[in-house]
């Protein structure tokens, strides 16, 4: 008998059998991607991107903040359960002592708080050392250090004595920033006392002290890891980074050195009924480990959620029907699984920004023009480089030459922007992209936010193509054709992170097509997009802003002139000195003083009108956030500003295992049919061979 032939057959058969056995072993548990978690309480979360580093001073986006906040702690934190939102001590001991003139904050720290163990603590042989006041001085200086690639300096810019100088000095890339220079407004009075001296009252300081930007970072870690520090976080938080497989998963384990921190005993009205006080008084964190799986696409993530492999999820627009039966109620299949729905206002606003420096679309306020002319000429006088000086002078001259037409030009361009805003089909997008769970935005201040005016209607966020066409004509582009007869062309920047963002951009292209305007879409990677924003070279671009703290100033400062040009989050580079003056008046007002709050409200109204008339943004939609949470994931309460909330979560792993096994039984009949076919074919083969041997 020819042995090779039999061997081949046998090998084939054996392999197939082996495969099938492996496949069907552990029926149902097969598609479970988590292994080796017996006896541990593990939370299964997911994120859609690999974070670009876990450094607190760079945590400007929601993703980084969500991760950084579990490892790093700040002086203050948001109260998890209590409403209205307030801040409570975290690493601080009690609320700060504020001087009468509101310019000096003295903060006492908790004693006996230790950093996590890490090889960077060479002196103590790898064991974490105690957290001291100096650490916060160091950490906040880092926030003001350009060389750390800080993204959060704008929050404290101009407020802390001496810190702005520190920031300026750090811009000298030739020298490494010197942290030993004293900053008057940032001092450690003793080992456990920090004193902050302000240049002007800052009612939002405590909110800032609760943001991940101001978390405590040990100097040893930064010096030990150097460039790799962003991959090796070392903090005082409830969790430590156990493992980071880039683009695959992030594992955080409970921090054995974590201080004594307990689950709150009291909450808001409905908390007890919702079972949120079951774990009151227990020591935090409540779980042993958190696993964040990185899943880039929406659909596999959604499938994981449906299978129970991920504890919580949002609802991707394409999966709406399988999750919800109406705007408010879950679908039967969700109900059957015991999934809980959380619906809440997301204090955010999606917008399309116009670069106000742009030739075609932008605005130059006459006051600002005058300012620039003087500034540039002065700088040219001081400038040594002849070429640069000449260029500055030329720029100043150009602005001056444009002065007589300035008002008319501004008016025309304003009409253009308003026209584009009117052409934006919000009702359609609410249907198609948001499944109905959004509303037309009227103001940069989102609904139900402090200082929101429910009666304000923005005439330019209506969907009215007629009006848009008319305004377009008045702006000098009848039917989209400019004075030279050529079609108006605009370039739109967006990130291509998902098909949805691309589809979104294409919708905009269609909407502008109706007006006769050509839109050239450029899909960028996130890094490219950031760079274009930083360097001020995009023309029209899509962004969103999520509130950092419950104060209207957080949205209004997005239009503050000096925060533009890449210096802060004023990505549209809107510069209106009238607006800035109002803002300067508003900034020191506190929400907690009734008289000041009233003044603030009035100022908000004026600023709102200014900004919506000038239309530096196409205000798009205000969303409702929907989060789905499985039965076994406990203690979740949405908090729009706090990111360090994972420590309060609890999980019932047995229930999870049981239910996910139940939900994931494979449908076996197709496999059997397929197997049958294979066996049949193999049989034919053998038969033929046998026949030929005879």
Partner 1 sequence: MEENKEQPVLDQAEEEPGRSLWGDALYRLRRDKLSVFSFTIIVLYLIVAISAGLGLIATKYDDPFYKADEWEAAGLLKSMSGTIEDGSPADAAIGECLAALDKDGKEAMIRLLPAAVREIAGTGHANLADKLKEIGRRMESTDSYAPPSWKHILGTDIQGRDVFQRVVQGTWISLQVALIMSVIYIVIAVFLGSLAGYFGGWVDDIIQWVYQTLASVPGLLLLISLTFVLGQGLMNVAIALGVVGWVGLCRLMRAEYLKHKERDYVLAAKALGAGHFRIIFRHILPNTFHLVIISFSLGFVSAIMSEVVLTFIGLGAKADEPSWGRMISEARAELARDPAVWWPLAGATAAMFVVCLAFNIFGDSLRDALDPKLKV
Partner 2 sequence: MTAYIIRRLVFLVPIVFGVMLLTFVLFNVVTTGEAIAKQRLGPHADDEQIKVFIKQHGYDKPKYVQFYNNMTELITFDFGRSEVTQQKITSMVWRGMWPSLSLMLPSFFFTLLVAISIALFTALYRNTWIDRTTVVLCIIGMSVSFLAYIIIGQYVLGYQLKYFPVAGYEWGLGVFKFLILPGLIYMTASLGANVRFYRTIVLDEINQDYVRTARAKGLNQNTVLFKHVLKNAMIPIITRVVITLPFLFMGSLLLEDFYGIPGLGALALNAINGNDFAVIKAITFIGAILYVLANLVGDICYSLVDPRVQLK
Site of interaction with partner 1 (CB under 8 A)? 297-299, 302-303, 316, 318-322, 428, 431-432, 465-466, 496, 498-500, 502-503, 505-507, 509-510, 513, 521, 523
Angstrom distance (rounded) from CA 628 to CA 613? 38
Report in angstroms how near the CB of residue 653 gets to partner 2 at its nearest: 18
**Which of 37, 50, 379, 462 touches partner 2 (CB under 8 A)?**
50
- Pick 364 or 422: Cβ nearer partner 2: 364
Cβ(495)–Cβ(523) under 8 Å? yes
Angstrom distance (rounded) from CA 680 to CA 694? 21
Residue 485 carries which DSSP code?
Answer: S
**Which of 37, 41, 48, 52 touches partner 2 (CB under 8 A)?**
52
Render 47-111 in DSSP notation, one character per residue.
ESS--S---GGG--SHHHHHHHHHH---SEEE-SS-SS--EEESSBSSSPEE-TTS-EEEEEBPS
Find which of partner 1, partner 2, none residue 664 binds, CB within 5 to 8 Å per kind. Answer: partner 2
- Pick 313 or 644: Cβ nearer partner 1: 313
Residue 529 carries which DSSP code?
Answer: H
- Pick 99 or 503: Cβ nearer partner 1: 503
Tokens 């969500």 identify what position? 66
Report which of 490, 439, 486 is spatially closest to residue 623, judged by C-alpha positions. Answer: 439
**Which of 19, 40, 327, 673 touches partner 2 (CB under 8 A)?**
19
Report in angstroms how near the CB of residue 492 gets to partner 1 at its nearest: 9
Angstrom distance (rounded) from CA 518 to CA 487? 7
Where on the phi/psi map is residue 485: left (φ > 0), alpha (ψ -120 to 50), or beta? left
Find which of partner 1, partner 2, none residue 381 binds, CB within 5 to 8 Å per kind. Answer: none
E-only strand ranges, 540-664:
540-546, 617-619, 621-629, 633-634, 650-651
Cβ(259)–Cβ(113) under 8 Å? yes
Report in angstroms how near the CB of residue 417 gets to partner 2 at its nearest: 17
- Pick 171 or 537: Cβ nearer partner 2: 537
Q: Which of residues 259-298 bind partner 2 (CB under 8 A)?
A: 293-297
Report which of 308, 290, 307 is spatially closest to residue 44, judged by C-alpha positions. Answer: 290
Report which of 209, 230, 66, 218 is spatially closest to residue 139, judged by C-alpha positions. Answer: 218
**x/- track of binding to partner 2 for residues 498-537 (CB under 8 A):** ---------------------------xxxx--xx--xxx
Q: Any residues with CB less than 8 A from the CB of 87 and at least 6 apart, and which?
A: 76, 77, 78, 79, 206, 207, 209, 210
**x/- track of binding to partner 2 for residues 222-241 (CB under 8 A):** -----xx-xx----------
Find which of partner 1, partner 2, none residue 528 binds, CB within 5 to 8 Å per kind. Answer: partner 2
Q: Which of residues 592-651 bind partner 2 (CB under 8 A)?
A: none
- Pick 251 or 523: Cβ nearer partner 1: 523
Angstrom distance (rounded) from CA 314 to CA 651? 19
Report in angstroms how near the CB of residue 4 gets to partner 2 at its nearest: 4
- Pick 456 or 507: Cβ nearer partner 1: 507
Report in angstroms how near the CB of residue 304 gets to partner 1 at its nearest: 12
Angstrom distance (rounded) from CA 55 to CA 149? 10
Q: How many other C-beta atoms can be found within 10 angstroms of the C-beta atom of residue 271?
A: 19
Angstrom distance (rounded) from CA 242 to CA 232? 10
E-only strand ranges, 269-359:
289-294, 312-313, 340-345, 348-354
Half-sphere exposure of 264 toward its Cβ, with a 13 Å CA cutoff? Answer: 21
Q: Which of residues 79-108 bind partner 2 (CB under 8 A)?
A: none
Residue 159 carries which DSSP code?
Answer: T
Find which of partner 1, partner 2, none residue 503 binds, CB within 5 to 8 Å per kind. Answer: partner 1
- Pick 266 or 499: Cβ nearer partner 1: 499
Find which of partner 2, partner 1, none residue 5 binds, CB within 5 to 8 Å per kind. Answer: partner 2
Find which of partner 1, partner 2, none residue 35 binds, CB within 5 to 8 Å per kind. Answer: partner 2
Q: How many other C-beta atoms can be found within 10 angstroms of the C-beta atom of residue 211?
A: 24
Q: Which of residues 293-322 bind partner 2 (CB under 8 A)?
A: 293-297, 300, 303-304, 307
- Pick 295 or 438: Cβ nearer partner 2: 295
- Pick 214 or 539: Cβ nearer partner 1: 539
Report which of 619, 626, 614, 604 is spatially closest to residue 440, judged by C-alpha positions. Answer: 619
Residue 214 carries which DSSP code?
Answer: G
Find which of partner 1, partner 2, none residue 64 binds, CB within 5 to 8 Å per kind. Answer: none
Q: Identify which range of 161-169, 398-406, 438-446, 658-666 contacts partner 2 by CB under 8 A.
A: 658-666
- Pick 50 or 367: Cβ nearer partner 2: 50
Q: Any residues with CB less than 8 A from the CB of 113 and at least 6 apart, and which?
A: 91, 130, 131, 236, 259
**x/- track of binding to partner 2 for residues 352-371 (CB under 8 A):** ---x--x-------------
Furthest CA-CA distance within the chain: 109
Find which of partner 1, partner 2, none residue 266 binds, CB within 5 to 8 Å per kind. Answer: none
Report in angstroms how near the CB of residue 518 gets to partner 1 at its nearest: 10
Return the structure tokens found at 85.
Answer: 């939102």
Report in angstroms how near the CB of residue 325 gets to partner 2 at its nearest: 21
Q: Any residues with CB less than 8 A from the CB of 327 and at least 6 apart, and which?
A: 436, 437
Q: Is 4 in the site for partner 2 (CB under 8 A)?
A: yes
**Which of 246, 513, 598, 658 touches partner 2 (CB under 8 A)?**
246
- Pick 4 or 667: Cβ nearer partner 1: 667
* Site size with partner 2, rule: CB under 8 A: 64
Cα-Cα-Cα-Cα dihedral sign, residues 440, 445, 451, 453: negative
The interaxial angle of helices 577-586 and 594-614, nearest 10 deg, is 160
- Pick 72 or 302: Cβ nearer partner 1: 302
Return the structure tokens found at 82.
Answer: 């209590």
**Which of 10, 23, 147, 405 touches partner 2 (CB under 8 A)?**
23
Residue 464 carries which DSSP code?
Answer: -
**x/- track of binding to partner 2 for residues 474-493 (CB under 8 A):** -----------------x-x
- Pick 378 or 428: Cβ nearer partner 1: 428
Compute and round to an integer the Cα radius of gyration of the chain.
Answer: 30
Give the footprint of partner 2 on this chain (CB under 8 A).
2, 4-5, 8-9, 11-12, 15, 19, 22-23, 30-33, 35-36, 50, 52-53, 227-228, 230-231, 245-248, 293-297, 300, 303-304, 307, 355, 358, 491, 493, 525-528, 531-532, 535-539, 664-667, 670-671, 681, 685, 688-689, 692-693
């Amino acid at each position: 008998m020819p042995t090779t032939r039999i061997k081949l057959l046998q090998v084939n058969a054996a392999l197939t059998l082996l495969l099938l056995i492996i496949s069907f072993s552990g029926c149902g548990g097969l598609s479970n991607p988590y292994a080796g978690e017996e006896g541990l309480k593990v939370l299964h979360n997911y994120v859609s991107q690999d974070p670009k580093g876990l450094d607190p001073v760079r945590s400007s986006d929601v993703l980084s903040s969500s991760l950084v906040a579990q490892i790093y702690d700040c002086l203050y934190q948001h109260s998890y359960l209590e409403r209205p939102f307030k801040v409570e001590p975290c690493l601080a001991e009690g609320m700060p002592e504020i001087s009468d003139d509101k310019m000096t904050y003295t903060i006492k720290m908790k004693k006996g708080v230790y950093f996590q163990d890490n090889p960077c603590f060479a002196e103590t042989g790898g064991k974490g050392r105690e957290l001291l006041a100096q650490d916060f001085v160091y950490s906040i200086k880092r926030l003001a250090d350009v060389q750390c690639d800080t993204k959060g300096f704008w929050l404290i810019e101009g407020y802390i004595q001496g810190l702005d100088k520190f920031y300026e000095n750090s811009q000298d890339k030739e020298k490494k920033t010197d942290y030993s220079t004293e900053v008057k407004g940032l001092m450690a009075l003793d080992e456990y006392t920090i004193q902050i001296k302000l240049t002007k009252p800052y009612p939002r300081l405590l909110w800032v002290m609760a943001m991940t930007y101001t978390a405590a970072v040990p100097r040893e870690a930064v010096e030990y890891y150097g460039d790799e520090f962003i991959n090796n976080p070392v903090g005082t938080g409830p969790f430590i980074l156990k493992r980071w497989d880039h683009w695959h998963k992030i594992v955080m384990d409970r921090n054995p050195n974590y201080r004594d921190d307990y689950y709150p005993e009291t909450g808001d009205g409905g908390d007890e009924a919702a079972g949120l006080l079951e774990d009151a008084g227990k020591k935090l964190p409540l779980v042993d480990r958190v696993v964040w799986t990185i899943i880039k696409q929406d659909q596999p993530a959604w499938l994981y959620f449906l299978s129970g492999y991920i504890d919580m999820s949002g609802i991707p627009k394409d999966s709406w029907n399988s999750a919800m039966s109406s705007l408010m109620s879950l679908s039967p299949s969700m109900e059957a699984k015991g999934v809980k729905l959380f619906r809440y206002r997301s204090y955010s606003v999606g917008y399309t920004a116009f670069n106000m420096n742009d030739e075609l679309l932008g605005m130059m306020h006459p006051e600002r023009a005058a300012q620039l002319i003087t500034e540039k000429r002065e700088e040219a006088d001081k400038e040594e480089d002849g070429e640069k000086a000449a260029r500055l002078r030329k720029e100043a001259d150009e602005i001056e030459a444009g002065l007589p037409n300035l008002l008319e030009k501004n008016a025309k361009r304003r009409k253009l922007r308003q026209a584009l805003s009117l052409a934006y089909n919000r009702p359609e997008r609410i249907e198609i992209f948001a499944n109905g769970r959004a509303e037309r935005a009227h103001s940069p201040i989102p609904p139900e936010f402090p200082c929101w005016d429910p009666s304000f209607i923005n005439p330019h966020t209506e969907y009215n193509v007629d009006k848009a066409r008319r305004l377009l004509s008045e702006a000098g582009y009848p039917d989209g054709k400019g004075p030279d007869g050529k079609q108006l062309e605009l370039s739109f920047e967006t990130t291509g992170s998902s098909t949805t963002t691309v589809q979104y951009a294409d919708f905009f292209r269609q909407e502008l097509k109706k007006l006769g305007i050509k839109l050239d879409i450029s899909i960028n990677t996130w890094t490219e997009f950031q760079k274009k924003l930083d360097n001020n070279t995009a023309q029209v671009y899509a962004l969103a802003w999520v509130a950092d703290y419950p104060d209207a100033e957080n949205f209004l400062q997005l239009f503050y002139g000096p925060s533009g040009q890449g210096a802060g989050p004023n990505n549209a580079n809107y510069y209106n000195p009238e607006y800035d003056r109002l803002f300067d008046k508003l900034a020191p007002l506190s929400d907690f003083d009734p008289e000041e709050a009233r003044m603030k409200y009035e100022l908000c109204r004026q600023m709102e009108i200014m900004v919506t008339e000038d239309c530096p943004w196409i205000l798009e939609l205000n969303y409702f956030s929907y989060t789905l949470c499985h039965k076994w994931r406990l203690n979740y309460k949405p908090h729009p500003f706090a990111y360090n909330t994972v420590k309060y979560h609890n999980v019932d792993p047995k229930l999870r295992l049981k239910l996910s096994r139940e939900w994931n039984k494979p449908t076996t009949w197709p496999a059997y049919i397929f197997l049958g076919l294979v066996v049949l074919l193999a049989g034919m083969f053998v038969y033929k061979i046998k026949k030929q041997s005879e």
